[in-house]
Amino acid sequence: MLKVSNLVKRFGGIIAVNDVSFKIEKGEIVGLIGPNGAGKSTLVNLISGFYFPDSGKIEFNGHDITKKRMNERAKLGIARTFQNPRVILNMTAHMNVLYAILGSPEGKKMTMTEAGAEAIYYLDLFGLLKKRDVLAGDLAIYELRLLELARALALKPKLLLIDEAMAGLNPAEADNVSKLINRIRKEFDLTIIWIEHVLKVLMKSAERVLVMHYGKLIADGKPEEVVRKPEVIEAYIGEEEV
Amino acid sequence: MIAELSLIVAYTFIFGSMYLGMALGFTITTGVLRVFNLAYGAIFLIAVYGTWMFWHDLGFGLIESIVLAIALVALFTYAVYQLVILRFAELEDYMLAALVAVFVIVEELIGWAYPEIVGVYIPTTIYNELVPFGEANIPGQYVVTAFVSLALLAIYLLFFIKTKNGFIMRAISQDMFAAKLVGVNFNRTFALAMIIASIPPAIVMLLISPIWALNPYIGWSVFTYAILVAVLGGLGNLKGSIMAAYIIGFIQASVGFLLDPRLMLLVALIVVMIVLIIRPKGLARAETIW
């Protein structure tokens, strides 16, 4: 489904993503981990079209999307969430999901009423129905994370990129978000790339983990195998627990 | 004194509604595209001189000429979007200079084709009688223009609130980045916003043209009111523009009838400057079109 080849992204003298290559098959749930500054978010930004690479190639379902813009990639079926949720704060939760539906290729064929009803469905799926008329700017961080996921899912993506969905959540909230991500992955037949800073969050869900360090991909494999690799342990020394 | 009060109330409504109609498109362009469209003043000129050209020079009927002129205005704004705004999207200074240049080129072309001595007059008068209001009598065409402006505002509000394209434009106006995330087709949406923004000023200008003496340089003075309303209202916010239009209308009416009509624009400019010193982002600070 996704093929990343020799991807490079520089910011001045810093190489944030350094010759990274990997493939992801349809239906996989892949964890992307690494210490702070490893290049995880930059890699997701490159895949989602937020940045363009300096060199390398990104293919999605056989199409070269390297030079496609963010909105074009969204139309092809790549949706994402952010570490700091990027929703429209002056719009209600319902409107945030509604405009995602209207922006999607399927949404163009829908009436406002149909799109509105579908937005309700996604809000309900994430337990946000009671917050439908609340401005996004008035939602708690946990609710904002759920709203971002609801909006991303409303785009009917094939590939969902999740950037630190647990940041700022308490253990119960994090556990619930984790369960919801696993549920939507099964129900909507999603392929997921999921960034988390702490690997143990992904141990239950991810079938495969990519580890980045200083912009390079240093490990790729099953979570329980990856955490034993010396280079991964070394990368995390002095960082938080693995 | 009662007569003056009647005049001030009536003309606050008339000027306010009229300026709102003139500024409606400018506010939409600023709100959705976040572009200060300095070529906007050319719309007023193309609307009236285009109608004159089709009607007087090319022999079309008046209604046909108006429709053709509005189509010409739409075509002009689409060309401005494609050739100037898109091309200079990352170079704002150059874009502003290019937009002013476009306005001046249109103005000079019209000035060359129809010099002031030609005496352009378009018979778009809908109601020629005086309308009594309290102790005052108001020219019927002013009243028509004011109500048409309000009708245009209502139509555009319904568009933004009830339609898919309007909703997407509101989303873009609030957070362009978040809108990009969901696959919104920006080029199409921006081009549509530019075109729909060009229609209200064209209609208002055509309605007011039998009252105001037309000349090829009238675009700047009309555009000044559109900018004043949009800036005082808080760029790109329709609620702010509504408030600003009636505040400026009130200032103009009060100064015109109580002080000196020659000071109407000057006092309005001074008041707007003072308000902007206190509230630099205008009356409505929300960065959203509605």
What's chain B look like in SS3? CHHHHHHHHHHHHHHHHHHHHHHHHHHHHHHHHCCCCCCCHHHHHHHHHHHHHHHHHCCCCHHHHHHHHHHHHHHHHHHHHHHHHCCCCCCHHHHHHHHHHHHHHHHHHHHHHCCHHHCCCCCCCCCCCEEEECCEEEEHHHHHHHHHHHHHHHHHHHHHHHCHHHHHHHHHHHCHHHHHHCCCCHHHHHHHHHHHHHHHHHHHHHHHCCCCCCCCCHHHHHHHHHHHHHHHHCCCCHHHHHHHHHHHHHHHHHHHHHHCHHHHHHHHHHHHHHHHHHCCCCCCCCCCCC
Of B163, B164, B171, the CB nearest to A88: B171
Please report how many Cα atoms fall inside a 13 Å half-sphere around the Cα of residue B289, on the Cβ side. Answer: 31
Considering the domain boundaries, does residue B237 fall inside one? yes
Considering the domain boundaries, does residue B83 fall inside one? yes
Whether A107 and chain B come into contact, CB under 8 Å, resolves to yes
Q: What tens digit of pLDDT does each residue of A74-96 get? A: 989 999 999 888 899 888 999 99
Task: Give chain B positions within 8 Å (CB) of A75.
Answer: 183
Q: Is the Cβ pair B167, A107 closer than 8 Å?
A: no
Considering the domain boundaries, does residue B284 fall inside one? no
Q: Are B237 and B289 in contact (CB under 8 A)?
A: yes
Q: Is the Cβ pair B182, A100 closer than 8 Å?
A: yes
Of A90, A95, A155, the CB nearest to B183: A155
Tell which of A51, A94, A102, A155 to mutate to test the B interface (max B CBs under 10 Å).
A102
Considering the domain boundaries, does residue B7 fall inside one? yes
> CB within 8 A of A100, min separation 6: which ones?
A107, A151, A152, A154, A155, B182
In degrees and rounded to multiples of 5, residue A215 shows phi and psi of 85, -10
| pLDDT confidence bin for A205, thresholds 50/70/90 | confident
Whether A135 and chain B come into contact, CB under 8 Å, resolves to no
Whether A104 and chain B come into contact, CB under 8 Å, resolves to yes
Considering the domain boundaries, does residue B192 fall inside one? yes
Q: Is the Cβ pair B183, A72 closer than 8 Å?
A: yes
Share of chain A above pLDDT 90, in %: 67
Whether A112 and chain B come into contact, CB under 8 Å, resolves to yes
What range defines the domain where residue B76 resides? 2-123+133-278
Q: What tens digit of pLDDT does each residue of A147-173 get? A: 999 999 999 999 999 998 888 888 899
To the nearest whole angstrom, how far is the Cα of A122 from the nearest Cα of chain B? 15
pLDDT at A242: 46
Q: Is the Cβ pair B180, A105 closer than 8 Å?
A: no
- Is the pLDDT at A215 greater than 50, yes or no? yes
Q: Is the Cβ pair B162, A105 closer than 8 Å?
A: no
Q: Is the Cβ pair B178, A105 closer than 8 Å?
A: no
pLDDT at A238: 53
> Which residues, given as ranges, of chain B have pLDDT below 70?
285-287
- The CATH number assigned to the domain holding B269 equals 1.10.3470
A157 DSSP 8-state letter: -
pLDDT at B285: 66
Tell which of B32, B181, B185, B238 to mutate to test the A interface (max A CBs under 10 Å).
B181
Which residue in chain A has the smallest CA separation from B162? Answer: A112
- ipTM, 2 dp: 0.75
The pLDDT of A17-45, averaged and rounded, is: 93
Task: Give chain B positions within 8 Å (CB) of A80.
Answer: 181
Of A4-8, A16-20, B86-90, B246-250, minimum mean pLDDT range: B86-90
d(CA A66, CA A191): 19
d(CA B70, CA B133): 33
Domains of chain A: 1-77+157-242 (3.40.50.300), 87-156 (no CATH)
How many domains would you assign to chain B? Answer: 1
To the nearest whole angstrom, how far is the Cα of B183 from the nearest Cα of chain A? 4
Considering the domain boundaries, does residue B287 fall inside one? no
Q: Are A177 and A141 in contact (CB under 8 A)?
A: no
